[in-house]
Structure 1
Amino acid sequence: MTRHRTELLTVREVLNELGGVSRRTFYRWRELRTAPRCIRLPNGELRVRRDALEDWLRERAEGAR
């Protein structure tokens, strides 16, 4: 069985992928629990799995339901 490793994105990389969403907006989404799921590393930094970001975007596509 082969394990597929998913890319871990920094908050800055996520913001760039989202077309320049502000850091403040991202953290507000986290407060509201509407941001993509994050992983908190032992050093306190956040990472977002690429597949979690793609799922999050797919869920928000118009007409997704």
Structure 2
Amino acid sequence: MAAQRHSLTVNAVCAELDISRRTFYEWRAKGRAPRCIKLPNGSLRVRQIDFENWLESCEEAA
């Protein structure tokens, strides 16, 4: 599936950010996590581009 080649699992996002799944889901509940795609089986994926854009939006000016 083409969309999955350019998307990350929740585990991959958590590993990249060095956070727990619980933290990810807390951020998601608060609207602070990157945009997610919910698959028909209930799994979540994060598009690579959405993750990169979200990460840039987290940057603070020095």
TM-score bin (small chain): 0.7 to 0.9
Structure 2 alignment gaps of length 5 or more: none
* CA deviation string 1:6-64 (max 9, x = no partner): 6110000001111x20100000001100100000000000000011010001001011x
Aligned letter for 1:9?
L
Partner of 2:53: 55
Distance 2:15 2:28 in 1: 17
Instruction: Calculate the TM-score normalised by the size of structure 2.
Output: 0.87
Structure 1 unaligned regions, length at least 5: none
**TM score, norm. by length of structure 1:** 0.84
Q: Distance in 1 between matches of 2:55 and 2:29?
A: 18
In structure 2, the residue matched to 1:44 is 42
